[in-house]
Amino acid sequence: INSAEGDISGLIWAVIGAVVAMVISFVVTMITYKDDEPDNQGKIKEKKETEKEVIYSPMKGEVKELSESEDAAFASGVLGKGIAILPTEGKVVAPCNGVITTFFNSLHAIGITSESGAEILIHVGIDTVKLDGKYFTAKAKEGDTITKGQLLLEFDIDGIKKEGYSVISPVIVTNPDQYSDILYVTGQSINYNSNLITLL
């Protein structure tokens, strides 16, 4: 009988010990626990909602709808989203900090990747590839690291027009799927380094 009572007594004390340990563990957890996750998620969400990149104007002129470029590939948006500029001065400056990923041999177009990964194409005129570099003077080269406002290219507006080509120049983002929205305003004059396209 004593043996059985001893066994039962030991079992009771074991159960009591387990319960006490659970209670202590629960209390310690409640005291030390800090609910960081909702705050972190909130901060991440807020950051994503407010994250944006501004592409500045590489030219001085009049901002037009892309459809006014009179080029089906640009007008349809198949090459990317953006605007067109009717330049009043024959210069192209860097629209952001980044790298020149492509500088066409004909010098009429420049591909740039910004520090944040935006892929931008600046195409001077329509069908001007046929000029094979005539009226264009490069001020930078493919592979160069560039800073916003840096002079990249000069071109002769009158010379291009005399050859029968339009100088209206598409400026597009060629990886628009990377962004939730792309904002721009048309129908207004713009100067170098003014806000042109906002990527969200």
Tell me which residues are annotated as active site.
Answer: 123
Taking alpha carbons only, the member of 33, 13, 15 closest to residue 25 is 33
What are residue 84's DSSP bridge partners? 64, 170
3-state secondary structure 3-28: HHHHHHHHHHHHHHHHHHHHHHHHHH
What are residue 197's DSSP bridge partners? 55, 184
What is the number of other CB atoms lying within 10 angstroms of the CB of residue 109?
20
Beta strand extents in 57-108 (DSSP E only):
61-64, 81-87, 91-93, 98-103
Q: Under DSSP, is residue 123 helix (H, G, I), strand (E, B) or coil?
A: strand
Backbone φ, ψ for residue 119 (5° rounding): -105, 120
What are residue 145's DSSP bridge partners? 99
